Structure formats: structure tokens, C-alpha cells
Structure 1
Amino acid sequence: MEWVNIALPKGRLGEKVYQMFKQAGYACPAIEEENRKLVFENPEAGVRYFWVKPSDVAIYVERGAADVGVAGKDILLEYVPDVYELADLGVGKCRMCVAGKKDFRDDRSRTLRVATKFPRIARNYYSAVSRDIDIIKLNGSIELAPLLGLSDVIVDIVETGRTLIENGLEPKETIVDISARFISNKVSYKFKNDAIRRMAQCLAGLPETNQGGSV
């Protein structure tokens, strides 16, 4: 039997995405049971699922441990994995934004200090507008940086904007819209082409999904 190995992001997004796979005809009842397993198989559908940290999905797919997976566009833009992007699943929607204090005005005569978890995205964005920046890489509580004078602005994911508002910040500019993408390992796409294309087409046929991508 030819299995299609699928890396799903742990958490709410992964649970929502699994329901999409289920709707598309790739159910795996064991995944919905109360247990601590990480790998789940359904021989009838020819699928093997496993849960991984969202930021690791692209690594599993790029390295071939998974044939396909679901990763946020933010991860794909930040880490630029060598994978095919087959479809925009239309879920997990948010924006990558520049945010700062409400009274912030950019003084272009000096270097802009930017705190972010996404240095590549921030650097590419400001490079495109010829702005000198000093990247301050943080791993959490990004909103604190401008409040404590560590940075002038932040580059981060914004879903509702409530966290920003509660901390006296506001979105200044949208860099890119983010959503969950169905991705494939390049070798797997060649050797399991029929199965992966069929899966992409089934997912693309769901109401939430907009087909896109680079293949």
C-alpha cells in the first residue's frame, strides 16, 4: 500500500484542518479519540497523520518525513522551505502587520528599531521601501518592546487586533495576508503525484478553500 504521510499543526488550527481532510474523504477515526498518540493511520483511505509543532510542519515536509502538510503562509515566508504550495485552505486567516504606539511617527533620519519573531519578513518588507532598520529578534510578548522603549515598532501576526489595542498599540501597515496552505514535498509530489493531486483537488473543492500555489 502507498501511504500519504500528512503533517498537521498541533492546536486549534490543526483540529480545524483535520475536519477539512475528513470532509474531503480522508477521515481517520483514531485521531478523534482521547489518547496521547502522535501517529494515526487509516489503511482504507491510505493516509497516515501526525501532529507536530506548527513551525515544524514545513521542516517535516521539506525533509520528506511527511509527504504533505499544512503550514501558515507566515512560516513559508519566514523560513522559505523548498516545498510546493498547492492550495490556500482559506482558514487560519490573519495579517502580518507593522504595529506601534498610536502616536508613533516614523523619523526616517534615523534607523528604525523593529522587534519581531519574523526577521526575514521584516527585513524583506523594509528593504523593499529602502528603510534602514535594526532587527531585534524576540520569541514572545512582542507587544512589550515598544511599550518599554526597546523598539519603535513591531512586526507580528494580527488576528483581531485586541491584544494590540489593550496594550496601547495599533496596526500601522499590513505587510501580507496570512492563511493556512497545503504544501507538498517535491520528491513525493513526483512519485505520489496522483494521490497528492487528488487530495489537493478534494481540499480545493471545499467551500473554505481557494486553490493557488506554485505547481
Structure 2
Amino acid sequence: MSLKIALTKGRVERKVIPLLERAGIDCEPLKNKKRKLIIQTNDGKLEFILAKGPDVTTYLNAGVVDVGIVGSDILEEQQNEQYELLDLEVGKCQFVLASTAVFDVNSPERKIIGTKYPIITKKYFESLGQDVEIVKIEGSVELAPLIGLADAIVDITETGTTLRENNLYVFDYLNKVSTRLVVNRMSLKQHSQEIFTLVDNLKKAVFEKNEVRGEKTR
């Protein structure tokens, strides 16, 4: 029986494939998937289900997959209830509070904040002792302060290029984000050997990648 892995498609998928290959997994079926959303490795040991990030935790919680590979931003926002076993240390970015130059984070006035992450945003402003109105946005969050929908935004950024190109400034840095490997609690009991073998191989791959780049492993 194949170990079922929900893999966040797109950017995370592209970042994770080299790690999977370094861990000894044949990723040719993933690389040549065309429009397939369910891809099995040639040895039949792994089955990848390509999904949007927020759906990965849904599949995990429902028990239809054993393992999820997804960003820590989604895990934090959805208040993940499954076991997080490994930081894959790819897809790194950071939450920021950003706005136009005239924004004053210390202003006593009640602020309107645009974000895809209302729970994370609420926790952040609570830590500052501020009560804010949160507007949930699914698209280009950067637009919100530019068109007057919000005073500022909380979003994730990798390089800050989009913020700079839209004349937005970072006023504070929040949590760092990276890709994590998460396991369904029941699957960990039923397929512990297969899961821990996968985790051990990926842990070695992360270490080797960091050694090559001269990075300090966690």
C-alpha cells in the first residue's frame, strides 16, 4: 500500500522536488505529471496528491492522506492539529506588516488591516495591545492600502520586490515561514516505519543541502 502524501502544488512543489530527489525518491512521475493531480512513484511506495495549500490540512484532518507538505503559514493560520515532524527549510519567507509611507503603527485610532491571514493578524495586534478591524482578502493583498480599503496589510514576502514596486514599506517583521512535513496522527500509528523512514531520509537531505550551501542546520 502506497504512503499518501498531499503536496502543495506550485511554488512549494517546485522547491520540494529537489529535496525528495536528494532523499532517494524518483521524482520523474512528478516532473512529467502533465495535468495529473494524483501521481504514484514508479516503485509504488509513494502516492502524491497535488493540492492547494489550505486543502492539505483538510485532507490530513479527514484522514485521506498520511503526510502533508505545506507552508507553516497555513499550519499556523488553520491552527494545525496534526503532528509536525520536520522543517524542510525551503520556501522560506516572512510575515510582514506593510503599508504606505504615511502609516503610523502606533496611532491610537482603530486600524483596518487587509490580509489573507486573519487569525495570525489578530494575534499579532493583540500582542501589541491593539484592537483592529480585519478585512480578509484572497487576491493581491498589496492593493488594499493603495486603494483605501485598509490602512495596512499583513502578508508574507520572500524578497520584498512586490512591496517595493508598489511603494509599500515594511513596518514590522512577524513570524518566519518555511515548508513543513506534517503527519496524520492515526497514520503515524499505522505506518510508523514508512513515515519515519521518509522523515529520516528527508532530514538527511535537508542537512546535505545546507552543508553544500554552507548553511547552519537547525
The two structures have a TM-score, normalised by structure 1, of 0.91
Distance 1:211 1:184 in 2: 22
* TM-fit CA distance, 1:187: 0.5
Q: State the identity %.
A: 36
* TM-fit CA distance, 1:211: 8.2
Q: Work out whether residues 97 and 155 of structure 1, in 8 Å CA contact, stay in contact via their aligned partners in 2.
A: yes
- Residues 109 and 36 (structure 1 numbering): CA distance in 2 closer, same or farther, change over 3 Å? closer
Distance 1:141 1:25 in 2: 38
The number of residues matched between the two structures is 211
Distance 1:187 1:19 in 2: 28
SS in 2 for 1:8: strand
Say what the alpha-carbon RMSD is for the aligned residues.
1.9
**Map of 1:72 onto structure 2:** 71
* TM-fit CA distance, 1:149: 1.9
**Map of 1:15 onto structure 2:** 14
* TM-fit CA distance, 1:133: 0.5
Q: Work out whether residues 87 and 211 of structure 1, in 8 Å CA contact, stay in contact via their aligned partners in 2.
A: no
Instruction: Give the letter aligned to residue 190 of structure 2.
Output: F
Structure with bigger helix share is 2
Q: Work out whether residues 96 and 158 of structure 1, in 8 Å CA contact, stay in contact via their aligned partners in 2.
A: yes
**Map of 2:46 onto structure 1:** 47
* TM-fit CA distance, 1:177: 0.3
* TM-fit CA distance, 1:208: 4.0
- Residues 113 and 208 (structure 1 numbering): CA distance in 2 closer, same or farther, change over 3 Å? farther
Which deviates further from its counterpart, 78-87 or 21-30? Answer: 21-30
- Residues 107 and 149 (structure 1 numbering): CA distance in 2 closer, same or farther, change over 3 Å? farther
The two structures have a TM-score, normalised by structure 2, of 0.89
Deviation sequence 1:64-114 (CA, Å, 0-9, x none): 111002110100010113211111101000001110112322343211111
* TM-fit CA distance, 1:151: 1.2
**Map of 1:124 onto structure 2:** 123
Unpaired runs of 5+ residues, structure 1, are none
Q: Work out whether residues 90 and 208 of structure 1, in 8 Å CA contact, stay in contact via their aligned partners in 2.
A: no
Distance 2:111 2:183 in 1: 37
Q: Work out whether residues 85 and 183 of structure 1, in 8 Å CA contact, stay in contact via their aligned partners in 2.
A: yes
**1:162 aligned to 2:161?**
yes
Instruction: Give the letter aligned to residue 37 of structure 2.
Output: L
- Residues 109 and 208 (structure 1 numbering): CA distance in 2 closer, same or farther, change over 3 Å? same
* TM-fit CA distance, 1:161: 0.7
Which deviates further from its counterpart, 18-27 or 201-210? Answer: 201-210
**Map of 1:172 onto structure 2:** 171
**Map of 1:189 onto structure 2:** 188
